[in-house]
Amino acid sequence: MDFLRPRPARTALLAAVLALGLGLAGCSQGSGANSPTASPSASASAAPEPAQVTTLDGVSVGGTFGESPTVTFTPFTVGDTLSKVLSDGTGPEVTADMTVTVHYQGLNGRTGEVFDASYANGKPTAFPLNGVIPGFSKGLVGKKQGSRVLLAIPGKDGYDSSGGNPQAGIQAGDTLVFVVDIVSVPLSGPQGDTVSQPSGQPTVSGPVNDPKISIPSGAAPGQLLVQPLIKGKGDKVTADSTVTVNYRAWLWDGAKQVDDSYAPTTVNGQQVPAAPQSGQLSTLIKGWQTALAGQTVGSRILIVAPASEAYPDGAPELGIPAGATLVYVVDILQAS
């Protein structure tokens, strides 16, 4: 989703959240993680081969939602990803294409060692389920916001494809054990109070997930225009937030649509499926950083961004010429 970044590339918006935790994406050790051991302890090395189990009844988890858990078990393996809801939330359900915000702790099922955790720094982590190890998607899809979930992920759904993860002491074939608190999931669309709009601005019509634009005649504004159309009641976006949005973008001149997440689109000759997009606010184009900071989750925002706030040199792959003013409709579905 390049139109949001100084160097457009639509899928690049996801890149900032693909490597947030060692236990999730296998790229780097998450902050707050316990120091992993490169190999099991002497006592673990001498222990019998972990038994394969088909339930998680042998795993004991202490603590409550939002607090670092205490996890105990006898070393084990699983043949398929298993999940168990430890405490059930009442929020919306997780779907496979979502960016979810979670607290988590990851342990090696062979050694019992903690190799990554988010609780120590007090900040949950946001990541797209289609950008991390497959077991997370399998284990969390269908679970509700506010739930604490226990997962056991076999190597085939973890790191076997990359030969394990020696940095974390994870060998090929190791089962990974996670306790996951689902802190928030994105809204399905804008939710809140309608805001009266001054005359002379572009107007939006059509179904909520298929917005149409009507742009007034005359010259485009020379300054950034930010107009809430719906005022959400959720969390406030801050400068260091990761946001999940749906959006549509048009050129001011001619009202030509140039990018979209509500429907499939083509970027650099490749088909990009419809799906909300996520990225760190600080990595987005200047106009978006200014326009979205301070807004609330559930809001729909109209943004008119002159070239100086978007792409002064244009973005040919999106059909945006140099100097073009852009009109955006942005639905803020999540901020973390």
Domain ranges of the chain: 31-184, 189-335
Give the max Cα distance, the chain. Answer: 79
| Cα→Cα distances 305→1, 13, 87, 228, Å | 17, 19, 45, 14
| CATH number, span 31-184 | 3.10.50.40
Supply 67's token pair: 């607090």
- Candidates 102, 134, 132; CA nearest to 118 is 102
**Is 189-335 in CATH node 3.20.20.70?**
no
User: What is the value of pTM for the model shown?
Assistant: 0.69
In a 10 Å sphere around its CB, with 0-12 CB exposed, 13-18 middle and 19+ buried, how is residue 286 labelled?
A: middle
Burial 2-15 (b: 16+ CB within 10 A, else e): bbbbeebbbebbbe
| Side chain identity, residue 237 | V
pLDDT tens track, the chain, 336 positions: 332 333 233 333 322 222 223 344 443 333 333 333 333 333 444 556 899 999 999 999 999 999 999 999 999 999 999 999 999 999 889 998 888 999 999 999 999 999 999 998 888 888 888 888 999 999 999 999 999 999 999 999 999 999 999 999 999 999 999 999 999 999 989 999 999 999 999 999 999 999 999 999 999 999 999 999 999 999 899 999 989 999 999 999 999 999 999 988 777 777 777 888 888 899 999 999 999 999 999 999 999 999 999 999 999 988 999 999 999 999 999 998
Domains 31-184 and 189-335 share a fold: yes
In the chain, what is the straight-line distance between the N-terminal and C-terminal CA atoms, in Å? 19
